[in-house]
Amino acid sequence: MGENAPKGDEPDVTRRTLLTLTATLGTAAILPAVSPEVRASGQEVQSALGAHQVELQINGQPHRLEIEPWVTLVDALRERLSLTGTKVGCNHGQCGACTVHVDGRRVLSCLTLAAACDGRNVTTIEGLASPEGELHPMQQAFIDHDAFQCGYCTPGQIMSAVALVGEGRLGSEDEIREYMSGNLCRCAAYPKIVAAIRDGARSMGA
């Protein structure tokens, strides 16, 4: 029996258990809560990983959620808050369909833990239009340029495009393509997407 094996009545929490939990959840952020110094029982570990209260400001509205630490932002938005405008494509950070803004910066919500957004401002595609329903200039430009076919990638494209303008990265066509390269379009509507971004940015005053 190795040094790390449980002995007698000692808690049955081995380093393997902790590593398995960490690997399964895909984050080291939980480690402080279950560090080896904490001689917790298996039940206590489960409790440490249970639901926590998280406050998110979403599209200007406060939301308090009981959420497990492994829930991604996109799942919280779609499944807990019914904000289904944000799409899931690959769920692995490769397609950009799930792009939203957190504190004004674009993030992939399939790779972002909802708990990590506690106290942050989240903007989704539903939050771009004015409260009166007037479309954001970038939304209007995508419509005007017919910059989609199936439309599945479009919310992510628009969120990324708005952020690109905010980042001051509106440059040549090649530069737009480069800074939009994280947003894939299986319908290959790229030429019209680039044209829409140019036009939308102009309407935004860029």
* Binds ligand FES (CB under 6 A): choice among 11, 22, 70, 89: 89
Contact status: 117 vs ligand FES (CB under 6 A):
no
Q: Sign of the CA dihedral 19, 98, 53, 80?
A: negative
Indicate the residue among 30 and 185 with the shorter CB distance to ligand FES: 185
Work out whether 96 is an interface residue with ligand FES (CB under 6 A): yes
Contact assessment for residue 187 and residue 89, using Cβ atoms and an 8 Å cutoff: no
Question: What is the C-alpha to C-alpha distance for residues 7 and 10, in angstroms, rounded to an integer?
Answer: 6
Which residue in the set 49, 71, 81, 88 belongs to the binding site for ligand FES (CB under 6 A)?
88
Minimum Å gap between C-beta 22 and ligand FES is 22
User: 3 forms bridges with which residues in the sheet?
Assistant: none
Segment interacting with ligand FES (CB under 6 A) among 7-15, 28-36, 92-100, 128-136: 92-100
Minimum CB distance to ligand FES, residue 71 (Å): 14
Based on the shown chain and the rule CB under 6 A, indicate whether residue 110 belongs to the binding site for ligand FES: yes
Pick the closer one to ligand FES by CB: 59 or 154.
Answer: 154
Q: Shortest CA distance to 182 belongs to which of 80, 105, 113?
A: 105
Percent composition of the chain: helix, strand, coil (DSSP 3-state, to 5): 40, 15, 50
Which residues contact residue 64 at a Cβ distance below 8 angstroms, ignoring those fewer than 6 apart? 53, 54, 55
Structural contact between residues 151 and 145, judged by C-beta atoms closer than 8 angstroms = no
# of chain residues touching ligand FES (CB under 6 A):
23
- Which residues from 146-165 bind ligand FES, rule CB under 6 A? 148-154
Distance CA 153, CA 87 (A): 7
Least Å distance, CB 110 to ligand FES, is: 3
Binding site for ligand FES (CB under 6 A): 88-91, 93-98, 108, 110, 148-154, 185-187, 189
